[in-house]
Chains A and B, each alone.
Chain A
Amino acid sequence: MRDGHRRRPVLRDELVTLAHGAGGKATRDLVEALFLEELGNEALAPLGDSAVVPPVGGRLAVTTDSYVVRPLTFPGGDIGELAVNGTVNDLAVAGARPLWLTAGFVLEEGLPVARLREIVRSAASAARRAGVPVAAGDTKVVERGKADGLYVTTAGVGVLEHDLDLVPAAVRPGDRVLLSGTLADHGMAVMIARGDLHLEGDVRSDTAPVHELAAALLGLGDALRWMRDPTRGGLATALNELAGQAGLAVRLEERALPVEPAVAAACEILGIDPLYVANEGKLVAVVAPEAAADALARLRAHPLGARAAEIGVVEAEPERMVLLDTALGGSRIVDLLVGDPLPRIC
C-alpha cells in the first residue's frame, strides 16, 4: 500500500494505556495521529529508525537533557515547551545554531490523551518558534504510579559557524558579566504552582529560546568570552562553575540584579535566594570590558533581552569564588548550593 492511499490514522482512546507502548496498532495510532500530526516535518515523517538529515559544514554541538517537572503545566509554560527551549538553549549558549532536535516521551499509564496532545502541541509550537524541527522521537509507556504523568528527554544538534572557543579559559580579569533579564521566574513559578506552599502570586515561567540573543552576542567576535543558560541551580551555580573552571573570581553587584517584584517577594517569604533559583529563558554572558556597552545594546534590542543588565565583573582573586557586593555596602560569598533550596523555617 502506498503512503498516499493509507487511511488517516485516528486515535480514539481517551487515556494512555500500556497498549500504546506495546509497539502494535495502538502505538502506531498514537505516533501517527498524535505525535506526527503535531510535530510533523520532513525529517520525522518517514518514521524510520533514524532521521537522515542533510550534511552541515562546521563543528557540531550535541546536547541532551531530561525534563521531569511537576506540575506538567505551570504559569508561563508546560513541560513540552520547556523540553524544546531547554535543549535549544543548551545549543545556543555553546555558540551553535540549533539544527535538529529529538524527543523521547515516557508516558504514565492513565495520562489523558488530550493532555498529552496539549503538551506535544506546545512542544511543536516551541520548535517552530525556534525554527528547529524535531527530527526523531520515541514513546514508551510505564505503569501507573511509575512516572509523574510524563517525562521528556530531548537531544539536539547544532552547528558552530565561527571559530570562537567559548570556554572558561577565554575569560580574563576585567571582563564584564551580563544577564539577559530577570532572575528566578521559572523556579518560583513552578514552586508556587505546586500549591503546597499556599502562596499565590502573578509569577510566570520565563521559558523561551535564547538562540537569537546568543546569535546577537556572537556578532561581537572574540570580545565574547563565554555564555551559559543559568537553569537548575540558578545564576549562582553557573557562575561558580565558571569561577572554578577559570580559576578566577566573579564579583556581582546586588543592586544590578534584575528581579521581578512578585518573584522577589515570594523568595523573601520562603527564605530562598533568587540567585539559586532556575531560569529557563535567560542567558548569562561574559564579554570584554570594551564590548560591554555594545553587548548590552545587542541584548536589549531583542524583546527577550529588554531587561538585560551588566551585573558584575571578573576579577583575578579570590580564585574560584563568586562574591556579591550587597546593596548596603557589605559583601558576601555566593557559594555552591548544598542540597535543595529548602525554605527556612523561622
Chain B
Amino acid sequence: MRYVDEYRDPELAHGLTAEIRSLVAPGETVRVMEVCGGHTHAIYRHGLEELLPPEVELVHGPGCPVCVIPMGRVDDAIALAETGGLTLATFGDMLRVPGGRGSLLEAKARGADVRMVYSPLDALTLAGKEPGRHVAFLAIGFETTAPATAVTLLRARAEAVPNFSVFCNHVLIEPPLRAILETPGLRVDAFIGPGHVSSVIGTDAYRFICEEYRRPVVVSAFEPVDLLQSIAMILRQRAEGRCEVENQYTRVVRQEGNERALAAIAKTMEPREDFEWRGLGALPRSGLRIRDAFAAFDAERLFALPDARIEDPKACRCGDVLTGQLRPWECGVFGTACTPERPLGTCMVSSEGACAAFFSYGRLRRPREEASVGA
C-alpha cells in the first residue's frame, strides 16, 4: 500500500531501534508520554513496545477524546437523545461510553433515536433529509475535530437550517498537559506531541512544555517508523542537552498550524470558564462552548439538560492512568470489574484508551514489564 508501507518498513524500524538503544544507558528509565490516543493505538497494534529497550517506558496520556468525557456529559447526551422528536448524531466511539445512566447504545435500545455519523456535516445533511425532526450533533474531540464542527456551524447558519444543533464538548489540549505537568512527582521525562491536533494548532503551542517545564517534545505522525523516529529524536535531544519542540510530522504539521481552521474555531466557539474532565476534574478554560452569535444552534441553550456532575466511580483510577501516575494494569479493577466489554472507566472504552489498548493488545507482556520496572 503506497504511502503506508514506507512507514512500516522493518529495516528502517530496526535501524531506529538500534539508534534508540545506543542513546540510553543500561538500567536508567526514560519515561515518554504519547499524548495522543492514535499513537497509543499504533504502539500496541504494531507491538512497538517489544522493539524498545526496557530503559524506554511509554506512558499513555490523555489524548483519547472519548476517554476524557465525564459521566455527567454522557447523561446530558442521553437526556438529549431521549427528547421527543430529536435525533442524536455522533461518532461511533461515543456510543458505548458509560455515563451514570448507562450508555447511548443502551438509550438507543430503549427507543432513543441515536445515529452514528462520520462527520458533523453528515449530521447536518441528516437534518436536511428529515425536516420533521431536530438533529443534534454530539461534538467531542480536541482541536482536531473542532474545525469540522466549526465549519458545520458556519454552514448551518449560512443555510439557516431550522432543525439542527450542536451539543458542544470540544476540549483543548493545553490545559490537561499543564495539569499533568503540575502533578506532584511527575513521572514523565518527555512528550510525543499529538499529530492531528498539531496540524491545527502548530508546534509553537507546545513551547511552554520546554520553556516552563524543561521537558522535550517531538510532534509525531502515526506510523510505527514515525513513532520510533520521534523517540530517537527525543533521546537525541536528551543526549545533546537540548530541550525543544521538534517536528517529526513535517509532511503535515507546520509551526504556525492551520490558520483557517483556527479562525473557524474562534469564530464559532469560545473557551468555557471551566470544563469537567474525566479523571482530571474541572480544568479552567479547557473546554469550548458555542458563541452567542450561534446560539440558535447550541443544544445546551435550546434544550434543558440535567447538567449533572457525577463523580467518577471510586474504584476507577482513570485519572491516575491519564496523568501517567498509574499504568493500566496497576488499577485495581483493570481486567476484572473493568473490561472493554463492560467498561467502568472511559480509558477502557475506545481502542485508543490506554486501558483498552493494553487489555486488547498488550496484556501478555505485563510480567516482562513488571520485571523491568523492578530492575
B13 beta carbon closer than 8 Å to chain A? yes
**Nearest chain B CB to A334 CB, angstrom units:** 8
B48 beta carbon closer than 8 Å to chain A? yes
**Nearest chain A CB to B343 CB, angstrom units:** 9
Q: Are B364 and A330 in contact (CB under 8 A)?
A: no
Main DSSP-derived SS at the B contact region: helix
**A321-B364, A328-B10, A330-B46 given as contacts; is B1 within 8 A of A268 (CB)?**
yes
Q: Are A329 and B141 in contact (CB under 8 A)?
A: no
**A264-B1, A329-B14, A338-B341 given as contacts; is B49 within 8 A of A345 (CB)?**
no
A328 to B226, CA, bound (A): 13
A159 beta carbon closer than 8 Å to chain B? no
B360 beta carbon closer than 8 Å to chain A? yes
Q: Are B116 and A342 in contact (CB under 8 A)?
A: yes
Which residues of B are found within 8 Å of A343, using beta-carbon distances? 92, 118
Measured as residues with beta carbon below 8 angstroms from the partner, the interface class of chain A is 20 to 34
**A321-B364, A333-B360, A342-B116 given as contacts; is B10 within 8 A of A327 (CB)?**
yes
A335 beta carbon closer than 8 Å to chain B? yes
A197 to B50, CA, bound (A): 35
How many chain-B residues does the 8 Å CB contact rule pick out? Answer: 44
Question: Which residues of B323-371 are within 8 A (CB) of A?
Answer: 340-341, 350-352, 359-364
Which residues of A are found within 8 Å of B1, using beta-carbon distances? 261, 264-265, 268
A344 beta carbon closer than 8 Å to chain B? yes
Which residues of A are found within 8 Å of B364, using beta-carbon distances? 318, 321, 323, 333
Question: Which residues of A293-346 are within 8 A (CB) of B?
Answer: 318, 321, 323-333, 335, 338-340, 342-346
Q: Are A345 and B141 in contact (CB under 8 A)?
A: yes
Q: Are B145 and A345 in contact (CB under 8 A)?
A: yes
Q: Are A329 and B8 in contact (CB under 8 A)?
A: no
Q: Are B46 and A328 in contact (CB under 8 A)?
A: yes
**Nearest chain B CB to A194 CB, angstrom units:** 12
A163 beta carbon closer than 8 Å to chain B? no
B216 beta carbon closer than 8 Å to chain A? no
A49 beta carbon closer than 8 Å to chain B? no
A245 to B38, CA, bound (A): 33
A321 to B365, CA, bound (A): 13
**A326-B46, A344-B352 given as contacts; is B361 within 8 A of A332 (CB)?**
yes
Which residues of B are found within 8 Å of A321, using beta-carbon distances? 364
Which residues of A are found within 8 Å of B46, using beta-carbon distances? 326-328, 330, 332
B170 beta carbon closer than 8 Å to chain A? no
Which residues of B are found within 8 Å of A202, using beta-carbon distances? none
B131 beta carbon closer than 8 Å to chain A? no
Q: Are A342 and B47 in contact (CB under 8 A)?
A: no
A264 to B364, CA, bound (A): 27
0/1 string, B1-19, CB within 8 A of A gives 1? 1001000101001100000
Partner of B47, one of A265, A273, A328, A335: A328
**A343-B92, A345-B65 given as contacts; is B118 within 8 A of A333 (CB)?**
no
Please count the residue pairs between chain A and chain B whose beta carbons lie under 8 angstroms apart in the complex: 92
Q: Are B362 and A340 in contact (CB under 8 A)?
A: no
A268 to B38, CA, bound (A): 13
Q: Are B118 and A328 in contact (CB under 8 A)?
A: no
Q: Are B93 and A196 in contact (CB under 8 A)?
A: no
A198 to B41, CA, bound (A): 24
B51 beta carbon closer than 8 Å to chain A? yes
Q: Are A345 and B48 in contact (CB under 8 A)?
A: no
Q: Are B95 and A342 in contact (CB under 8 A)?
A: yes
Q: Are B141 and A344 in contact (CB under 8 A)?
A: no
Main DSSP-derived SS at the A contact region: loop
**Nearest chain B CB to A199 CB, angstrom units:** 10
Which residues of B are found within 8 Å of A196, using beta-carbon distances? 118, 122
**A342-B116, A346-B38 given as contacts; is B13 within 8 A of A329 (CB)?**
yes
B96 beta carbon closer than 8 Å to chain A? yes
* Minimum CB distance partner of B350 in chain A: A344
* Minimum CB distance partner of B339 in chain A: A338
**Nearest chain A CB to B147 CB, angstrom units:** 12
A198 to B46, CA, bound (A): 28
B163 beta carbon closer than 8 Å to chain A? no
Partner of B50, one of A261, A331, A344: A331
A323 to B363, CA, bound (A): 11
A28 to B51, CA, bound (A): 68
**A318-B364, A330-B46 given as contacts; is B65 within 8 A of A338 (CB)?**
no
B149 beta carbon closer than 8 Å to chain A? no
Q: Are A335 and B224 in contact (CB under 8 A)?
A: no
Which residues of B are found within 8 Å of A335, using beta-carbon distances? 340, 359-361
Q: Are B350 and A332 in contact (CB under 8 A)?
A: no
**Nearest chain A CB to B256 CB, angstrom units:** 21
**Nearest chain B CB to A197 CB, angstrom units:** 6
Which residues of A are found within 8 Å of B116, using beta-carbon distances? 342
**Nearest chain B CB to A335 CB, angstrom units:** 5
Which residues of B are found within 8 Å of A324, using beta-carbon distances? 47
**Nearest chain A CB to B97 CB, angstrom units:** 11
A223 to B116, CA, bound (A): 47
A197 to B116, CA, bound (A): 11
Question: Which residues of A239-287 are within 8 A (CB) of B?
Answer: 261, 264-265, 268, 273
**Nearest chain A CB to B74 CB, angstrom units:** 16
A339 to B104, CA, bound (A): 13
A340 to B108, CA, bound (A): 15
B91 beta carbon closer than 8 Å to chain A? yes
Q: Are A197 and B118 in contact (CB under 8 A)?
A: yes
Which residues of A are found within 8 Å of B93, using beta-carbon distances? 342, 344-345
8 A-B pairs in the complex with CB atoms less than 8 angstroms apart: A321-B364, A328-B13, A330-B48, A338-B341, A340-B92, A344-B351, A346-B141, A346-B144
Give residues in A with beta carbon < 8 Å to B. 196-198, 261, 264-265, 268, 273, 318, 321, 323-333, 335, 338-340, 342-346
Give residues in B with beta carbon < 8 Å to A. 1, 4, 8, 10, 13-14, 37-38, 41, 44-51, 65-66, 91-93, 95-96, 105, 116, 118, 122, 141, 144-145, 196, 224, 340-341, 350-352, 359-364
- What would 6 more interface pairs be, CB under 8 Å, given A273-B45, A329-B10? A197-B118, A324-B47, A328-B46, A332-B47, A332-B361, A344-B352
Q: Which 6 A-B pairs rank lowest in CB-CB distance, beginning with the nearest? A: A330-B47, A342-B92, A332-B361, A330-B50, A338-B340, A345-B91
